[in-house]
Structure 1
């Protein structure tokens, strides 16, 4: 192993460099992994664009990347005692929570009450240096064994697959439910698979363009948001009643408005998309129809739960990979990701 490595460094919003940096050393209960594949996430694009100033990241320069897979090359103190060894194939997730606050003890470490406090909580690739590099250090709380049947490229999409499963579980889907998905991006596609895994009888994806066509090819009913009123179309598909559950995966004000209007009486909307602006909601139906709107942040233990579904093909992560780039071409990879005309879904970067 060399003493230095390549790493993506965002010097300031939209100013990217590939730099030669020292290989980090793992501390207590940490491992050093050789990163084989990373995946570009919508959050990465926003972060690099400077959309969350002072929060994600707290400051520039910064190395993003939180969807990744690779293999362990070095163990920090205590990692071996916790069952890890050099050579283990792993997939990583971002939340390195404190483990001792009330939410962590209850298993909801994605809501760690010590979020962002130095030494207590780090979120890799968000407020802590990420995995867009040849090597990355992660706490053992944030890595999961990757089965041999899952490739590194597929492994880099385990984290968003776990987020999709989490939002489906937040939706409280019951067997036989009709579930609508607003947003035909990668999370929306994976949420459609997650809804079926949770027992949905019908899954309707609302979106547009090539992504919507892909959703149809992967087994969902589809509604083109540009062809008319998507709320009316979903209601027509459901005999006028609406969807039992809506998973809001686009994160824009209009789609949340649609999502709430698509719900059946007593329905529940779980929202994972994060709007960058405030949303105005009509609350009359929220009260009179006893609707529910809940947030869904990242995942909380679903990394392990989703892997068998990736391995057996029910979570169709490989179908979403459209482009691959080496790390030195990250700027080109990001431009492709941001270009809706490129046909991009999930873009894999191989350090």
Structure 2
């Protein structure tokens, strides 16, 4: 291991540079990992574009990245006593919560009440330096053992897979339910698998283009938003009733409007996409049809739960990998991610 490493640094919105930086050292209950694979997330693209000013990140320059896999090369004090050893293959997640506030004690560490407070909470790649680098330090709360059958590239998609499982669980899916998913991106595609894992009898993905075709190839019914009114199409497929649960995975005002209109009476919409603008909702049906709209943030314990489904293929993460780039070509990787004409789903960056 060298004293320096390559790291992606966002100097200011849309100004990127690969820099040589000192290799960080792990502190108490932390590990240093050799990062083998990272995956570009939609949040990364928004952050790099400056869409969350003074929030994600709190300031530039900044190293993004939070979906990753690699192997441990150094243990900080206490990490060995907690069962970790050099050479362990791991996948990481972003929320390093305080562990002591009421939400953390209840297991909802994604809602840590000390979020962003220095020394109490860090979210890697969001308000704390991320993993788009040769090496990265993570608290042991945020790493999980990677089974031998799962590659590093697939391991980098376990974090979004856990997010997909979390939104499916927030949707309250019951065995036999019909579930509609608005948004055929990576999270939407993984949410389709998560819905089936939770017992959905039917999964209908609403989207367009090559991503919708991929959803069909991976086992979902599909509704093309270009072909006509998607709300009417979902209702036609469900005998006029609508979906028991809708998972909103696109994060744009129109798709949220569709999602609520697709629900069966008494239905529930779980929303994981984050709109960058406010949404105007018609609330009459929300009241008279007793609909439910709930938010879903990151994951809360689902990393451990989702890994076996990745290992046995029920969470089809490998099917979503379309491109691979070295870290030195991150700008090209990001441009490919942002180009709907590129055919990109999940893009892997290998430091």
Give me the whole-angstrom Cα distance separating, in 2, the residues matched to 1:52 and 1:184. Answer: 23
Secondary structure in 1 aligned to 2:277?
coil
CA apart distance, 1:250: 0.0
1:194 match: 194
CA apart distance, 1:175: 0.2
Give me the whole-angstrom Cα distance separating, in 1, the residues matched to 2:119 and 2:300. Answer: 20
CA apart distance, 1:255: 0.1
CA apart distance, 1:258: 0.1
CA apart distance, 1:115: 0.1
CA apart distance, 1:318: 0.1
CA apart distance, 1:49: 0.2
CA apart distance, 1:235: 0.2
Secondary structure in 1 aligned to 2:10?
strand
The superposition leaves residues 128-173 of structure 1 with CA deviations (integer Å, 9 ceiling, x where unpaired) of: 0000000000000000000011000000000000000000000000
2:97 match: 97
RMSD over aligned CA atoms reads 0.2
Secondary structure in 1 aligned to 2:153?
helix
1:315 match: 315
CA apart distance, 1:9: 0.2
Normalised by the length of structure 2, the TM-score is 1.00
CA apart distance, 1:242: 0.2
Give me the whole-angstrom Cα distance separating, in 2, the residues matched to 1:105 and 1:156. Answer: 27
Give me the whole-angstrom Cα distance separating, in 1, the residues matched to 2:268 and 2:41. Answer: 26
CA apart distance, 1:340: 0.2
Which runs of 5 or more residues in structure 1 are unaligned?
Answer: none
Give me the whole-angstrom Cα distance separating, in 2, the residues matched to 1:301 and 1:152. Answer: 21
The superposition leaves residues 18-61 of structure 1 with CA deviations (integer Å, 9 ceiling, x where unpaired) of: 00000000000000000000000000000000000000000000
Give me the whole-angstrom Cα distance separating, in 2, the residues matched to 1:277 and 1:294. Answer: 18
CA apart distance, 1:233: 0.2
The superposition leaves residues 63-85 of structure 1 with CA deviations (integer Å, 9 ceiling, x where unpaired) of: 00000000000000000011100
**Runs of 4 or more above 4 Å deviation:** none
Matched, 1:141 2:103: no
Give me the whole-angstrom Cα distance separating, in 1, the residues matched to 2:164 and 2:207. Answer: 17
Give me the whole-angstrom Cα distance separating, in 2, the residues matched to 1:82 and 1:65. Answer: 26
Normalised by the length of structure 1, the TM-score is 1.00
Which runs of 5 or more residues in structure 2 are unaligned?
Answer: none
Aligned residue pair count = 351
Matched, 1:235 2:240: no
CA apart distance, 1:184: 0.1
Give me the whole-angstrom Cα distance separating, in 2, the residues matched to 1:194 and 1:302. Answer: 11
Secondary structure in 1 aligned to 2:212?
helix
1:62 match: 62
Give me the whole-angstrom Cα distance separating, in 1, the residues matched to 2:262 and 2:183. Answer: 14
Give me the whole-angstrom Cα distance separating, in 2, the residues matched to 1:208 and 1:218. Answer: 15
Give me the whole-angstrom Cα distance separating, in 1, the residues matched to 2:171 and 2:7. Answer: 38
Secondary structure in 1 aligned to 2:63?
coil
